[in-house]
Chains A and B, each alone.
Chain A
Amino acid sequence: MNILFNIAVDGLAYGMVLFVIAVGLSLTLGLMRFVNLSHGAFAMVGGYCAALLMREAQWSFWLAVPAAVAATAALGAVLEASVLRHLYRRKELEQVLFTIGLSFVLIAATNALAGPQVQLIPLPPMLAGSVDLGWRTLPAQRLLVIGAGLGIAALAAWVVARTRFGIWLRAAVDHDGTASSLGIPIRVVQCASFAAGAALAGLGGILGAELMPLEPYYALKYLVLVLVVVSVGGMGSIAGSLVAAVALGLIETASKYLASDWGSLFFFLAMALLLAWRPNGLLKR
């Protein structure tokens, strides 16, 4: 019985990390129809900013994290406004090639600036300890990740579905010409959405650093996991990404408890089966 609880708790925490990193990509890919394979690089930039601000500038965790997320958003906005916006109308292949190239540039830059070693994000005392759940102990940081994941899911869903900005965004994506003639500032909407996607990636990089350690090859190493979550969840579907991330996290964790000799086989097998069953996303018929 214990083992089931263990799988549930560890799987939920792992799934939430996957969700936080993947949701930003789901938004840019689904709502902006832009294939952004440099998403992993943005997550890495966020994590590195937080780690360096805390280590070199001695900032506190609670100050460094928002600053790092803001810095990632700013980098996303600058890149969008200067380069990436020219790619919206290009073919997917060109978007893929460009953003993969951008990832390589960011990998080389972080390697040159911060060195090849792993960067750690020191946790404040409140989060560094463990929480006693009665039958086992759980790192307190995982509770923060689970909470943050649920918060982000709710916030993102609310912004896209209920706010004026969300309506503008969907209008701009569906037909930018019409949206523009109706007076929607589509350039601002696109730039802000892309920056928000980058910011979410950065936050994911920071919160997930315990499970996915920050190193220069981070940008490509975990990209596959993120793409799996986005494709299984369905592009642009926040609830779909959440369900997919938690389901895949549970499957991966269960296989570690019960059949670790098989490696990640069950994770990818589940991906293949889920995609065969619902090719457009878990929650889309």
Chain B
Amino acid sequence: MNSTRRRAVGALATLATLCLSAAQAHAQAVKIGIVGPFSGPFAHYGALFKAGAEAYVASQGGKLAGKEVEFIYRDTGGPNPGQTKSLVQELIVKDKVDYLGGFVFTPNALAVAPLIQQSQTPTVIFNAATSSITEKSPYFIRTSYTLWQVTVPLAQWAAKQNLKKVVTAVADYGPGIDGEAAFKSEFAKHGGTVVESIRMPITTTDFGPFVQRIKASGAQAVYTFLPGGPPNLGFIKAYNENGLAKAGVQFLGTAETDEFDLQKFGDAALGLTTAFHYSGAHDSSENRTFVQALKKRDPNAVANYASVGAWDGMYVIHKMIEATGGARDGAKAMAAAQALAWESPRGPVRIDAKTRHIVQNVYLRKVERQGGALLNKEVQSFGPQGDHGLDK
């Protein structure tokens, strides 16, 4: 009887020690808060952030710089600055995260600038693409792209193709207006004329009238920016069905042929020209490693700008953990991140020390069908591009 009791007490003591050491290991883990939409119409961004970030950690053997990593996911739904601010405050104050990542929408990213400033939390933006974000706090760093970055080389290329008259048609909000301004100023520099600038309300569902206006403007090409998902599909359908493709009005886009939507376009997408920083079909061993790791983590995940933004964002966080030895030191981490240069799945990239934005190759791509699936075939590299919006 006595011995059983002693054994039980012994077992309990062992268990308690185990729990304690587990708790200690837990306390040592580096905490990373990932903020994005995990529900609602933009939930696929959240799923891609999660898959990209977790695939990166798994590809490094489950630890970053010898430290356990704990992800804490927070759901912002759609563009919702108020809620994002309170979620991030909770992450910083209550969960005591060491790093923040994610952010799909510009207003959400802007809302957290004072918080990360005060707590000195390095914050890696996986997507939000308005230039001015990184100016709002020295703790912002961005691994996605900006409209200026991809539009300027596209405008230069268009001018070289002897296009003289172009019409711009963009969704009427932040990034669309950035894209319109970038295209107009750069195209004019090279002697081209933007004959008409159409801003389409963001709630538009019937793109027929706008496409007719593009046709009536007599332009040789249309530069466009549309948010992913339904508007994208609607515009490309209207572009084809109203006979613009047949009339020879060339399509100049950026993120429109995103891999997440691409297969849904069907043959309507064939031949569409875009300038962008990442194609899921980029031919390099780094990209193959990325795609493989991503599929292993989540078979439904798509290699596109959102998942590669998260993957590269985790690379930056990895290097920041390495530089600080896992200690919480925002200033030191940011200093280390600003000197980074590496081979990303999208090609060679580096972080620009002044703008804390990623410098990367921008590629000219055409949509092709290979092996039954549509892909963005890179036909030309414009070489490394910084953020022309911040460099001004």
- CB proximity to A under 8 Å, residues B218-277: 229-230, 233-234, 237-238, 241-243, 246, 260-261, 264, 266
- A197 on the B face (CB < 8 A): no
- Which chain B residues lie closer than 8 Å to A138 at the CB level? 241-242
User: Secondary structure at chain B's binding surface: helix, strand, loop or mixed?
Assistant: helix
- Give Cα A263 to B241, complex, Å: 23
User: Secondary structure at chain A's binding surface: helix, strand, loop or mixed?
Assistant: mixed
Contact A118 B205, CB 8 Å, known A136-B243, A217-B40, A261-B199: no
B206 touches A14 (CB 8 A): yes
Contact A260 B234, CB 8 Å, known A137-B242, A216-B41: no
- Which chain A residues lie closer than 8 Å to B212 at the CB level? 6, 10, 136, 257
A213 touches B201 (CB 8 A): no
Contact for B260 among A117, A130, A213, A263, CB less than 8 A = A117
Question: Which bracket fits the contact residues of B?
Answer: 35 or more
A109 shortest CB reach to chain B, Å = 14
Q: Which residue of A lies closest to B46 (CB)?
A: A116
Contact A260 B199, CB 8 Å, known A118-B264, A136-B243: yes
Contact A211 B209, CB 8 Å, known A116-B44, A130-B243, A136-B243: no
Q: Which residue of A lies closest to B213 (CB)?
A: A257
A217 touches B41 (CB 8 A): yes
Q: Which residue of A lies closest to B43 (CB)?
A: A116
Contact A215 B229, CB 8 Å, known A117-B44, A210-B237: yes
A213 touches B233 (CB 8 A): yes
A10 touches B229 (CB 8 A): no
- Which chain B residues lie closer than 8 Å to A260 at the CB level? 198-201, 210
The listed residue with most A CB atoms (<10 A of its CB), out of B44, B208, B260, is B208
- A2 on the B face (CB < 8 A): yes
- Give Cα A35 to B215, complex, Å: 43
A12 shortest CB reach to chain B, Å = 11
- B172 on the A face (CB < 8 A): yes
B264 touches A120 (CB 8 A): yes
- Which chain B residues lie closer than 8 Å to A3 at the CB level? 216
- Give Cα A115 to B242, complex, Å: 30
- Which chain A residues lie closer than 8 Å to B216 at the CB level? 2-3
Contact for B201 among A2, A130, A264, CB less than 8 A = A264
B208 touches A130 (CB 8 A): no
B340 shortest CB reach to chain A, Å = 33
Question: Which bracket fits the contact residues of A?
Answer: 35 or more
Contact A253 B242, CB 8 Å, known A211-B234, A260-B198, A263-B172: no
Contact for B209 among A120, A213, A257, CB less than 8 A = A257
B209 touches A256 (CB 8 A): yes
- CB proximity to A under 8 Å, residues B22-42: 40-42
- B118 on the A face (CB < 8 A): no
The listed residue with most B CB atoms (<10 A of its CB), out of A7, A116, A212, is A116
- Give Cα A128 to B343, complex, Å: 43
- A13 on the B face (CB < 8 A): yes
- A139 on the B face (CB < 8 A): yes
- Which chain B residues lie closer than 8 Å to A2 at the CB level? 216
- B203 on the A face (CB < 8 A): yes
- Give Cα A107 to B145, complex, Å: 32
- Give Cα A213 to B237, complex, Å: 11
B365 shortest CB reach to chain A, Å = 22
Q: Which residue of B lies closest to A116 (CB)?
A: B43
Q: Which residue of A lies closest to B78 (CB)?
A: A217
A139 touches B241 (CB 8 A): yes
- Give Cα A215 to B264, complex, Å: 13
- CB proximity to B under 8 Å, residues A210-262: 210-213, 215-217, 222, 252-253, 256-257, 260-261
Q: Which residue of A lies closest to B243 (CB)?
A: A137
- Give Cα A263 to B213, complex, Å: 16
- Which chain B residues lie closer than 8 Å to A117 at the CB level? 44, 229, 260, 264
- Give Cα A13 to B206, complex, Å: 10
- CB proximity to B under 8 Å, residues A9-42: 10, 13-14
B233 touches A256 (CB 8 A): no
- Which chain A residues lie closer than 8 Å to B172 at the CB level? 261, 263
- Which chain A residues lie closer than 8 Å to B260 at the CB level? 117
Interface on B for A, CB 8 Å cutoff? 40-44, 172, 198-201, 203-206, 208-210, 212-213, 215-216, 229-230, 233-234, 237-238, 241-243, 246, 260-261, 264, 266
